Structure 1
């Protein structure tokens, strides 16, 4: 009996190869991707790369997402295959095969299928390991070294994970077969979903949830609020999409059926009737395609922007080759001479340290400014945040910078000619009346000019204005402002050294005297930075994030194509009998083709339309999240978004053309 069961299992896999080919391809690719992520995150050579800890953590996070997505894909594919084999399995029981034998046969099928597909996937993973590791190093802007380390622990981890998945699928299949009678199995493929109830109420609920999610996305003004709002909106959009595909579209089709002038035309009658049936049976599949499409596009936009915009981010964080920050006062505890005296001492001390460390100076800039955290402005009153931050919530925080006119001229080359009681103001999402004086403590300043842009961008690393609403003031002289907040001096140095030499000098500086201070000044804090070191650290993160984004995009795309293909083939088999009947009662081939085209175009491009609509409303909050990371080039974000949409539309259209051919071939096969 065992030999018969084994033979039947092998024969069934070959006989149903059209169903199993996509399942096998997805399983093999999933095993390959899972192995690559596992291997990369445990690659011992990665520890030698600058920022290795960040890269490893990022890869491990991506690995968990990939493994979860893989499990969902295989669950869907298995469900589709078993559903379409329901009649075949039912006939086996009618012909005398006992349930125990049927369960054993499907178990053997699962074992054979998993061994072959996961085995091939692991082999491809091992072959591609060296290449993918080199690509990862390339995206991180690290010297590419072609090394490959096979570790049995990585392979065993992947094998164990897929063993658990297929064990779960075997249990699920066994439960389904055990609870189904022979008659239910024979009719299983033809059973559609029952007619929905309260469709109008569900539609209104779905529209309400979707509108609220869109409102949340459009109402975000601060990058700090963007991430929690984004995740909330994502959950709401997913729920609304499933509700609208389940009830909303059916309600719309029912409305079309009530329009007699439209409905009672041969092509429309057939298309709308079939669409109503399809939506009852495949609404969840279409909604899943819409969600996966949205995830693919957003992942591509985020990954590409983070990677391509990395240089912008570095230029903001480190405007010069070497940067030094000196803090003179904090929370009102002042230790100050005149600004000019302090700057002269710091420039001399910094120059001496650089000279001792073998760093030639080609350019040096010095800016002294006030930096502080303030609450929301009321009646043009700047409210400084006190020492204990009482009375302020996190979302009420604004940032304040005050520069003198000399610093403004050094950054922009423009003169403002301010008097001691005048200010020029740049505001980012901070409301104030430019026609009224701005009050700081006991002092009032008349607004002489409202500045059109943040003049400190790429000049000083004051990146708090990216995260929080900000106010940047320019006064005639800082010594004229009695402001009890942090007063800092920024010194930026450019050098003629190569990047390798800069990194060496920076590491020497960090090792020898990171906390050394000038003896003639009492500082409350100081810090330093290197553009080369920041670039290495940034691309270690953004490169690995971009790498993960590309892989996740491939996984999401693979899942989307799988759902589309299985949905189309399933519907083709269901529609074939109906079209045969209609041709027998007088429907010609031309009308059949027209009806097929209309159905496929509607069903195929409906999820894509939802995906683009979701993206349009998510664009603002997505831009805010990228701004929080440091991507301030809005033109780049928009350009990447448009190209990502165009690229995905092209891929989607290609899948449409391929599956349309398969659909028509199935329809014509009878």
Structure 2
């Protein structure tokens, strides 16, 4: 009982020193609960079955991500414990001098961890519960759900999961603390603050050489994810620029850390201004550990910026694409009717199927279009690119061009384009054009079109009307996925065999409930028939899929991004608080030399600012290149506008990263004022 009281008094006495620790734990608990409570929060939402399935998939994925998040938070808590123990070395040394055994000191730490854990769990769960109600409204708004049945919900499953995960973390912390105290020596505890890390003066020539190497390595990594992205032949090749980026960043910090002091020292007016010399020496005093930590923190901040910006951007792009890429309500495609005698197979039309089932097309649709699509082994992508193959192969390494091309009559394509509100075209009898909107394939095809490659079909040769692809599509979709349709004069396909037939239309009715009924009725009619190929694609299904993908990416991105951001900021904050604790005597010496508190506080602000800004600036530079690569990868989701997402990410960075900076500064200021 006495040890428990001592632990409680220690926490109360050192509450300012525990501020970062408490802040990190509470944030971790709250975020963990919020993202694991989404399932319970959406129980009362009135959504369709497809949306419900998407939400279940999303919560299942978030549950899996939580395991990874718990590992990160566990490592962070252990790192924070190292800081707290280090700060109290002298206190533990005094306990040992007074006769308290290491076992009792371990019990004191056990009770302190227990008390801190209970308090952080309670406060974190309260904050998490409050924010989870807001999160449920975000989910409802994202899925366009009916909120009339919404009510306040406390997720018992999320609470239990949070208690279990954080309970396991605290057990590891307790075991770690016991092991740490057990291996400590009395002399190390009493003199721990007096032992300074030796400043290793690095050779300037070596630093310059390493700096040049780091720039070359980073330059190669930047090249591979921008101009040379086509050199990455497989998904595993992406590991090459990642590893180059990590190594280059480590070498950069190592070289710059050895050059900054010498560069500033060479400029006497700056070095001897105010307490600049003291600040620079303070930064250099922990140079060995700072290099590795700066690299880790920089990479984590880089991941945070890219993940958050990309996640927000995907969500916005998918939402915008729904109207643009789904200009009709339904698209029905059928292949040849299956007969026992395959020689009698014939192409059937969607309209005839619907009308034979008693469905009047004119009553069902305000506008509709039927069109045919053709394919032949005599016209593959390899045939279309022609003599440009070698040029394309050099740019797009490892690409295969054996797929059969989708072919349409110009009259059919123009009917669809008119229905969709797109541009129509005219072709001469010896001309063709390519319509596409998937940027990766547009760039590839433009190489062949620019070279004027001709195509042959049915013994006749056709030249390109345009030396580039024209924007267009026929399939309802949530993204720009049309890799290319060859549009030919009607006469070129007069005797060609139809591959499939499609009907695309806009319903007469507008209310959502009626559209659902229409979709169900058409699906039921088509389901009764047996065809070699059949697909029904509706605007409502596409919208739900887009919203689902956007929600999954957004929530996972927010979850991981916030944890990475908290972890990187907390590591920096704890490092700086440890520095302030170790250097109390130095600041006391400055006061004895006549330095006022204003100058000392300014010097402390500069020191902490450099630590926080240095990895952030490098991470931002990395992110400029990383986001350009992300834009290329995310082109499948349409035009990805990053400006709004970057602004939102910047706001999150300022709030969390800036918040940690301010807390660190004020806590450090209080530490160096302690007598």
- TM-score bracket, shorter-length normalisation: 0.7 to 0.9
Offset of residue 205 of structure 1: 6.0
Are 1:368 and 1:487, in contact at CA under 8 Å, matched by a contact in 2? yes
- SS, match of residue 19 in structure 1: coil
2:372 paired with 1:368? yes
Cα pair distance change 1:58/1:512, threshold 3 Å: farther
2:443 paired with 1:428? yes
Instruction: Identify the residue that residue 186 of structure 2 maps to in structure 1.
Output: 182
Pick from 466, 470, 476 the counterpart of residue 449 of structure 1.
466
Report the Cα distance in structure 2 between the residues aligned to 1:194 and 1:354, rounded to whole angstroms: 89
Offset of residue 356 of structure 1: 6.0
- SS, match of residue 75 in structure 2: helix
Are 1:207 and 1:244, in contact at CA under 8 Å, matched by a contact in 2? yes
Report the Cα distance in structure 1 between the residues aligned to 2:478 and 2:548, rounded to whole angstroms: 20
Offset of residue 288 of structure 1: 3.9
Instruction: Identify the residue that residue 170 of structure 1 maps to in structure 2.
Output: 174
Report the Cα distance in structure 2 between the residues aligned to 1:278 and 1:481, rounded to whole angstroms: 79
Cα pair distance change 1:35/1:538, threshold 3 Å: same
Offset of residue 601 of structure 1: 3.5
2:615 paired with 1:607? yes
Report the Cα distance in structure 1 between the residues aligned to 2:549 and 2:25, rounded to whole angstroms: 29
Superposed, 1:130-209 pairs within 5 Å as 130-144=133-147, 145-147=149-151, 154-189=158-193, 191=195, 193=197, 200=207, 206-209=214-217
Pick from 67, 80, 83 the counterpart of residue 80 of structure 1.
83
- SS, match of residue 355 in structure 1: coil
2:40 paired with 1:32? no
Instruction: Identify the residue that residue 510 of structure 1 maps to in structure 2.
Output: 523
Instruction: Identify the residue that residue 571 of structure 1 maps to in structure 2.
Output: 579
Are 1:316 and 1:461, in contact at CA under 8 Å, matched by a contact in 2? no
Report the Cα distance in structure 2 between the residues aligned to 1:328 and 1:239, rounded to whole angstroms: 57
- Listed one character per residue, the Cα deviations across residues 190-213 of structure 1 (whole Å, up to 9, x for unaligned) are 555565689747656654543333
Are 1:434 and 1:447, in contact at CA under 8 Å, matched by a contact in 2? no
Are 2:30 and 2:125, in contact at CA under 8 Å, matched by a contact in 1? yes
Are 1:359 and 1:505, in contact at CA under 8 Å, matched by a contact in 2? no
Are 1:420 and 1:480, in contact at CA under 8 Å, matched by a contact in 2? no
Deviates more, 1:255-264 or 1:171-180: 255-264
Offset of residue 407 of structure 1: 3.9
Instruction: Identify the residue that residue 386 of structure 1 maps to in structure 2.
Output: none
Name the TM-score, length of structure 1 as normaliser.
0.81
Report the Cα distance in structure 2 between the residues aligned to 1:23 and 1:577, rounded to whole angstroms: 24
Cα pair distance change 1:192/1:239, threshold 3 Å: farther
Report the Cα distance in structure 2 between the residues aligned to 1:218 and 1:321, rounded to whole angstroms: 38
Offset of residue 615 of structure 1: 0.8
Pick from 3, 6, 21 the counterpart of residue 5 of structure 1.
3
Offset of residue 404 of structure 1: 2.8
Offset of residue 531 of structure 1: 0.8
- SS, match of residue 420 in structure 1: coil
Report the Cα distance in structure 2 between the residues aligned to 1:126 and 1:643, rounded to whole angstroms: 24
Offset of residue 364 of structure 1: 0.8
Instruction: Identify the residue that residue 633 of structure 1 maps to in structure 2.
Output: 639
Cα pair distance change 1:269/1:124, threshold 3 Å: closer
Cα pair distance change 1:132/1:586, threshold 3 Å: closer
Superposed, 1:372-383 pairs within 5 Å as 374-375=381-382, 379-380=386-387
Are 1:5 and 1:104, in contact at CA under 8 Å, matched by a contact in 2? yes
Q: CA RMSD in A?
A: 4.1
Q: Name the count of aligned residue pairs.
A: 639
2:98 paired with 1:110? no
Are 2:331 and 2:475, in contact at CA under 8 Å, matched by a contact in 1? no
Name the TM-score, length of structure 2 as normaliser.
0.81
Offset of residue 323 of structure 1: 0.8
Cα pair distance change 1:62/1:460, threshold 3 Å: same
Instruction: Identify the residue that residue 210 of structure 1 maps to in structure 2.
Output: 218
Cα pair distance change 1:509/1:563, threshold 3 Å: same
Superposed, 1:556-595 pairs within 5 Å as 556-582=564-590, 584-585=592-593, 592=600, 595=603
Instruction: Identify the residue that residue 70 of structure 2 maps to in structure 1.
Output: 67
Deviates more, 1:504-513 or 1:354-363: 354-363
Cα pair distance change 1:232/1:443, threshold 3 Å: farther
Offset of residue 320 of structure 1: 1.4
Instruction: Identify the residue that residue 650 of structure 2 maps to in structure 1.
Output: 645
Instruction: Identify the residue that residue 504 of structure 2 maps to in structure 1.
Output: 492
- SS, match of residue 475 in structure 2: coil
Offset of residue 584 of structure 1: 4.1
Superposed, 1:229-378 pairs within 5 Å as 233-234=241-242, 236-245=244-253, 247-256=254-263, 259=266, 261=268, 265-267=272-274, 268-315=276-323, 318-327=326-335, 345-350=349-354, 355=359, 360-370=364-374, 374-375=381-382
Unmatched tracts of structure 2, length 5 or more: 391-396, 436-441
Report the Cα distance in structure 2 between the residues aligned to 1:312 and 1:460, rounded to whole angstroms: 17
Offset of residue 183 of structure 1: 1.6
- SS, match of residue 534 in structure 2: strand
Report the Cα distance in structure 2 between the residues aligned to 1:282 and 1:93, rounded to whole angstroms: 32
Pick from 432, 438, 454 the counterpart of residue 454 of structure 2.
438
Are 1:401 and 1:472, in contact at CA under 8 Å, matched by a contact in 2? yes
- SS, match of residue 544 in structure 2: helix
Superposed, 1:520-535 pairs within 5 Å as 524-535=532-543
Instruction: Identify the residue that residue 489 of structure 2 maps to in structure 1.
Output: 476
Offset of residue 168 of structure 1: 0.9
Offset of residue 60 of structure 1: 2.2
Instruction: Identify the residue that residue 624 of structure 1 maps to in structure 2.
Output: 632
- Listed one character per residue, the Cα deviations across residues 475-511 of structure 1 (whole Å, up to 9, x for unaligned) are 2127449989x83433211113222221233234334
Deviates more, 1:178-187 or 1:507-516: 507-516
- SS, match of residue 516 in structure 1: coil
Cα pair distance change 1:652/1:438, threshold 3 Å: same
Are 1:213 and 1:236, in contact at CA under 8 Å, matched by a contact in 2? yes
Instruction: Identify the residue that residue 537 of structure 1 maps to in structure 2.
Output: 545
Are 2:450 and 2:468, in contact at CA under 8 Å, matched by a contact in 1? no
Are 1:399 and 1:471, in contact at CA under 8 Å, matched by a contact in 2? no
- Listed one character per residue, the Cα deviations across residues 488-539 of structure 1 (whole Å, up to 9, x for unaligned) are 433211113222221233234334532526xxxxx64121111112222332
